[in-house]
Amino acid sequence: MMISTKGRYALRIMVDLAQHKEEGFISLKIISERQEISLKYLEAIIGILNRANFVKSMRGKSGGYKLQRESKEYNIGSILRLTEGGLVPVNCSNCTPEHSCARGDECLSYPLWENLDRLVNDYLDSVSLEDIVEGRLVDKDIVIKFVDR
Amino acid sequence: MMISTKGRYALRIMVDLAQHKEEGFISLKIISERQEISLKYLEAIIGILNRANFVKSMRGKSGGYKLQRESKEYNIGSILRLTEGGLVPVNCSNCTPEHSCARGDECLSYPLWENLDRLVNDYLDSVSLEDIVEGRLVDKDIVIKFVDR
DNA sequence: CTTATTCCTACTATACCACAAGGTTAGTAG
DNA sequence: CTACTAACCTTGTGGTATAGTAGGAATAAG
């Protein structure tokens, strides 16, 4: 279980774009040099971001990319779900909250995966691109609380 | 980013063993039939559990496996870390809390990965095998709280 | 001694990751 | 108008991980 470079690079692209949002369209070449990531790989990744309208593109000379919205309008969860294709899925297709599968044991652990999934997504959705750029994560501790239903 | 079958099957083995702990040593054949998982794959997975002394084994006829400790003594995090080989590592080797890497942008997102890692591990460590078997997860809601340092 | 089981090594097929290569299209500076 | 630049598209590739399979050797019970 880990987060691949795809998602991390996507985040770094977005952070870079957010940091230099005053400079208009920024070419991948610049980002690639600044972030020390292969240009060709970046092309593939920003393609995903672009098709989802997370970034705006401009072709031709002095073209490049810029953020479509304000950096506080992006939450990290959506960026990661887009590029990684979902977070922490346990991929137990025959096992849903409604239709529980034949094996009682598998379904015993189902709530665990569901909780984990919610936890990760909730956290990642609570952090905005702006939070990252402003470095707001460092001065807060994060605790889990359990509440009776 | 996802949890592979290895970790999930390992958990299902442990749950199965916990549910039938009164029955002495339980053979993989039985578990394989009950859980509908290939015997051969199960052998590989329980080998990991066995070498880490999570389970006790008995060879020969009427041999099998049983839990080494009480089910409340196991937390899910340790089972998953063992079989999955670590949870949510971002694998940025050049980027640690002490030695921060050359790229300021990468390190901007580092606190995010660190928080995520802590969050996942804290949650998984807070759940015991007994909690799963007893179905204690369903009647609790889980919330994230942010506390100023 | 037979049978049932763990235990060990090796093999395989598929998929995904992390790129690289090469060319095409579109927009802009001069 | 032309040259250049940069996005965009398709395809390929080496490596690693996943999810198993196969076959056999060691061991203990009956």
Sign of CA dihedral A140, A145, B1, B5: positive
- Identify the DSSP state of B37: -
Q: Do B120 and A116 touch (CB under 8 A)?
A: yes
Over the stretch B67-76, which tens digit does the pLDDT of each residue have?
999 999 999 9
Look at residue B100 in the predicted model and tell me its pLDDT.
Answer: 46
Chain A residues within 8 A of B80 when measuring between CB atoms: 1
Identify the structural domains of chain B with CATH numbers, from first to last. Answer: 5-133 (1.10.10.10)
What's the whole-number average pLDDT of chain B?
A: 90
Average pLDDT over residues B116-142: 95
Average pLDDT over residues B131-147: 94
Structure tokens at B36: 């509908």
By CB atoms closer than 10 A (0-12, 13-18, 19+), residue B145 is exposed
Question: Is 60 exceeded by the pLDDT of residue B105?
Answer: no
By CB atoms closer than 10 A (0-12, 13-18, 19+), residue B89 is middle
Distance from CA of B17 to the nearest CA of A (A): 11
Q: CA A83, CA A10: separation in Å to the nearest integer?
A: 7
Alpha helices in A36-146 (DSSP H): 39-51, 76-84, 104-126, 129-133
Q: Do A92 and B140 touch (CB under 8 A)?
A: no
Length of chain A: 149
B27: which nucleotide lies closest, measuring CA to C1'? Answer: C5
Q: CA A25, CA A55: separation in Å to the nearest integer?
A: 10
Closest CB to A149 among B1, B119, B139: B139
Structure tokens at A75: 């939450």
Q: Do B105 and A19 touch (CB under 8 A)?
A: yes
Whether the Cβ atoms of residue A54 and residue A18 lie closer than 8 Å to each other: no
Question: Is 70 exceeded by the pLDDT of residue A40?
Answer: yes
What is the chain B residue with the closest CA to A34?
Answer: B103
Confidence band, pLDDT 50/70/90 cuts, at residue A23: very high
Question: Is 90 exceeded by the pLDDT of residue B2?
Answer: no
Over the stretch B24-62, which tens digit does the pLDDT of each residue have?
999 999 999 999 999 999 999 999 999 999 999 999 999
Q: Do B3 and A142 touch (CB under 8 A)?
A: no
Look at residue B149 in the predicted model and tell me its pLDDT.
Answer: 83
A61: which nucleotide lies closest, measuring CA to C1'? Answer: D5
What is the chain B residue with the closest CA to A18?
Answer: B105
Chain A residues within 8 A of B141 when measuring between CB atoms: 146-149
